[in-house]
Structure 1
Amino acid sequence: MTKLSVNINKLATLRNSRGGNMPNLIKSANDIESFGAQGITIHPRPDERHIRYQDAYDLKEVVTTEYNIEGNPIPKFVDMVLAIKPTQVTLVPDAEDAVTSNAGWDTIKHKDFLADVIKTFKENGIRTSIFVDPDVEMVKGAAETGTDRIELYTESFAQEFSKGKEKESIQPFMDAAVMANELGLGINAGHDLNLDNIQFFKSHIPNLLEVSIGHALICESIYLGLENVVNMYLHRLK
């Protein structure tokens, strides 16, 4: 079964919009785990507009499933990850002013940089993943960095799928997944996956280990309830 890691950034956004501690991020993470999710994902950014760096430390004390921290490996981020030692770190090439992640790494251009960062994390027992576009050459480049996994950036799939272009939307991801499997890389995926498209995506990607879903899951939960939505994802991922 593909694991579901719930990204709780949007819960932090809601909390920060009013100050105080509602919703309580710690309780939310515990509840999401109790509903059946197999992981918690956060993506702290330098401006701390949703997840704060202190949240990352606080969550380390309570997350009992897989703990995945995403972000651009600037020095502050690297220091935090090394101090916390989460289950997994996912490297994302975000600009500091990015609204959301909007591209994967150029793993060829940045191979040496990524290899150095990944070596440091792996020496500290932290599983590593690189956010990449569904491009066979970028997957090959990722393998040369020494990473354990890649995370396929799925926005293009979601956009085309919503237009009824299922075959066109999934083919590049299938090709990238086949190459990753040949190279011995684990495969994660995330960005704009939702209840409508997740089952189709999962069924076409061989050996998909984990999906990280936040924005859509929280939006769907407004109408359907958080516990219900978590279990709807788990059902589709079986």
Structure 2
Amino acid sequence: MLKLGVNIDHVATLRQARYRGREHGEPDPVEAARICEEAGAHGITCHLREDRRHIVDRDVWALRRSVRTRLNLEMANTPEIVGIALQVKPDIVCLVPERREEVTTEGGLDVVAQEAALAETRRRMNDAGIQVSLFIAPDPPQIEAAARVGAQFVELHTGRFAESFAHPEAREQELQRLIAGAEMAHQLGLRVNAGHGLNYENVRWLYRVPHLVELNIGHSIVSRAVFTGLAQAVRDMLAVMAGYPG
């Protein structure tokens, strides 16, 4: 069964639009996580960015106390955020690139260029009982480096696939990259997740990508929730994903 991790960052984005800098505010991402879990989500994802633009420290601690499925903390490999993760102890961390100027994460992590530093963080996380995923493009050198780092998972960046979706030739090319990347990661002993830009229309195309364990999806679910409610938006996505052959 293909699992769904719901990214609740944009619930916090909506809160911060009015309540930034305050100790309270709505909507509450912790309550959003509860609703997602009750609707059948297999995990909750949040990204504690260095600029705290949406999720803030108190959210991460509250989510750790309340999440009953699997808490995935997306994070940059920086001393401050690494230290917080080691204290909070999420079930898994996903190491991602981060630039303050970007609207959302723009590309995959350059594992080749940062192999030693990532290997050290992986070791510290694993020693603390935290699994590690690396958010990477489906490119052979990055996948090979992820295996050398010792990560348990890779999360394949599906952004280029999503952006090319309206153009059949480019879409097929990107889909083939994901298929080859998933096959290679699996052969190297890595478990395979995927995410970025996924929605209710393009997820079905990932049925062709083998060995997927989990999809991490946020913006599309939160967007639909404006019209249907969050629980129904989660159930709708689970229904779309149910056809994955496994």
2:177 corresponding residue in structure 1: 172
Segment drifting more, 12-21 vs 34-43: 12-21
1:14 corresponding residue in structure 2: 14
Partner Cα distance (1:185, 1:177) in 2: 9
Do the aligned partners of 1:32 and 1:230 also contact (CA within 8 Å) in 2?
Answer: yes
Do the aligned partners of 1:160 and 1:168 also contact (CA within 8 Å) in 2?
Answer: no
Partner Cα distance (1:228, 1:164) in 2: 30
From 186, 191, 203, the equivalent of 2:196 is: 191
Structure 1 position 237 matched with structure 2 position 234: no
1:196 partner letter = E
Structure 1 position 116 matched with structure 2 position 120: yes
From 35, 38, 43, the equivalent of 1:31 is: 35
Partner Cα distance (2:3, 2:91) in 1: 14
**Structure 1 residue 168, shift from structure 2 partner:** 2.0
**Structure 1 residue 130, shift from structure 2 partner:** 0.3
Structure 1 position 46 matched with structure 2 position 65: no
From 174, 186, 202, the equivalent of 1:181 is: 186
Deviations 1:141-170 (A, max 9, x none): 110000001001111000112333442230
> What does 1:86-235 align with in structure 2 at a 5 Å threshold?
86-165=90-169, 166-201=171-206, 203-235=207-239
Partner Cα distance (2:119, 2:67) in 1: 28
**Structure 1 residue 213, shift from structure 2 partner:** 0.6
**Structure 1 residue 82, shift from structure 2 partner:** 0.4
Partner Cα distance (1:63, 1:40) in 2: 7
Partner Cα distance (2:228, 2:31) in 1: 19
Gaps of 5+ in 2: none
What TM-score results when the alignment is normalised by the length of structure 2? 0.93
Partner Cα distance (2:113, 2:88) in 1: 29
Partner Cα distance (1:120, 1:150) in 2: 18
Indicate the SS of the match to 2:232. helix
**Structure 1 residue 96, shift from structure 2 partner:** 3.3
1:88 partner letter = I
Cα root mean square deviation, aligned: 1.2
1:64 corresponding residue in structure 2: 68
Deviations 1:105-151 (A, max 9, x none): 22211111110110110111101000101111210111000000100
Partner Cα distance (1:196, 1:61) in 2: 34
Partner Cα distance (1:117, 1:139) in 2: 17
1:106 partner letter = D
2:77 corresponding residue in structure 1: 73
Gaps of 5+ in 1: none
Q: Quick one: structure 1 residues 164 and 223, their matched pair in 2 at CA, closer, same or farther if it must change by over 3 Å?
A: farther
Indicate the SS of the match to 1:12. helix
Do the aligned partners of 2:192 and 2:213 also contact (CA within 8 Å) in 1?
Answer: yes
1:213 partner letter = I
Partner Cα distance (1:27, 1:105) in 2: 31
Do the aligned partners of 2:107 and 2:157 also contact (CA within 8 Å) in 1?
Answer: yes
Indicate the SS of the match to 1:61. helix
**Structure 1 residue 224, shift from structure 2 partner:** 3.0
Do the aligned partners of 2:32 and 2:230 also contact (CA within 8 Å) in 1?
Answer: no
**Structure 1 residue 18, shift from structure 2 partner:** 1.5
What TM-score results when the alignment is normalised by the length of structure 1? 0.96
